[in-house]
Structure 1
Amino acid sequence: MSSPLSREPVSALPGTDTGTDTETAVLLSEVHRGYSDGDGLVAALAGVSLRVPRGSFLAVMGPSGSGKSTLLNCASGLDAVDSGRVMVGGTDISTLKEPNRTQFRRDRVGFVFQAYNLVSTLTAEDNITLPLRLSDRRMDPEWVRGLVERMGIGERLRHRPAELSGGQQQRVAIVRALATRPDIVFADEPTGALDAESARRTLALLRDVVDDLGQTVVMVTHDPRAAATAHTTAVMAGGQIVDLMRQPSASDLAERLASFEQS
Structure 2
Amino acid sequence: MRSVYAGAPRPAKTADHTSAPAIVLDRVGKEYPGGVRALDEVSLAVERGTFLAVMGPSGSGKSTLMHCAAGLDSPTSGSIRIDGHEIAGLNETRRTELRRERIGFVFQAYNLIPSLTIEDNITLPLRLAGRTPDHDWLRTLVERVGLTERLTHRPAELSGGQQQRAAVVRALVAKPAVVFADEPTGALDLRSAHEVLDLLRDLVGELRQTVVMVTHDPAAAARAHRVLVMADGRVVEALEAPSAPQLADRLVALGEV
> What amino acid maps onto 1:59 in structure 2?
A
> Aligned partners of 1:163 and 1:6: how far apart in 2?
38
Partner of 1:55: 49
CA deviation map 1:172-211 (0-9, x unaligned): 0000000000000000000000000000000000001001
Q: CA deviation at 1:5?
A: 4.6
CA deviations on 1:226-256 (whole Å, 9 max, x unpaired) are 1011110000000000000011111111111
Scaled by the length of structure 1, the TM-score of the pair is 0.90
2:116 and 2:102 mapped to 1: Cα distance? 23
1:148 aligns with 2:142: yes
Q: Residue 89 of structure 1 corresponds to which residue in structure 2?
A: 83
The C-alpha deviation readout for 1:60-115, integer Å capped at 9, x for no partner, is 00000000000000000000111100000000011311101001101110000000
Aligned residue type for 2:148: G
Which AA in structure 2 matches 1:106? R
Counterpart of 1:28?
25
- After superposition, where does 1:126-141 map in structure 2 within 5 Å? 126-141=120-135
Q: Residues of 2 paired with 1:111 and 1:79: CA distance?
A: 14
* Alignment map for 1:64-213 (pairs within 5 Å): 64-213=58-207
Asked whether the equivalents of residues 22 and 90 of structure 1 are also in contact (C-alpha less than 8 Å), the reply is no
Distance 2:246 2:22 in 1: 27
Q: Is the 8 A contact 1:22 1:89 kept in 2?
A: no
The offset of 1:119, in angstroms, is: 1.3
User: Counterpart of 2:15?
Assistant: none
Q: Which amino acid aligns with 2:126?
A: L
Segments of structure 2 that go 5 or more residues without pairing to the other structure are 1-7, 13-17
One-letter identity of the residue aligned with 1:31: V
- DSSP 3-state at the match of 1:212: helix
4+ aligned runs moved over 6 Å, structure 1: none
The one-character-per-residue Cα deviations of 1:130-175 (angstroms, maximum 9, x if unpaired) are 1111111221111111110111111111111111111011000000
Q: Distance in 2 between matches of 1:247 and 1:180?
A: 29
What one-letter code is carried by the residue in structure 2 that aligns with 1:112?
Answer: V
Q: Unpaired segments of 5 or more residues in structure 1?
A: 9-20
Instruction: Give the aligned residue type for 1:85.
Output: S
SS in 2 for 1:122: coil
Amino acid at match of 2:196: T
Letter in 1 for 2:143: E
Q: Quote the Cα distance in structure 1 between the aligned partners of 2:87 and 2:186.
A: 29
TM-score, normalization by structure 2: 0.92
| SS, match of residue 261 in structure 1 | coil
Q: 2:37 aligns with which of 28, 40, 43?
A: 43
Match of residue 252, structure 1, among 228, 246, 253 = 246
Whole-Å separation in 2 of the counterparts to 1:64 and 1:160:
35
CA contact (8 A) 2:225 2:241 kept: yes
Query: Which residue of structure 2 lines up, in the alignment, with residue 225 of structure 1?
Result: 219
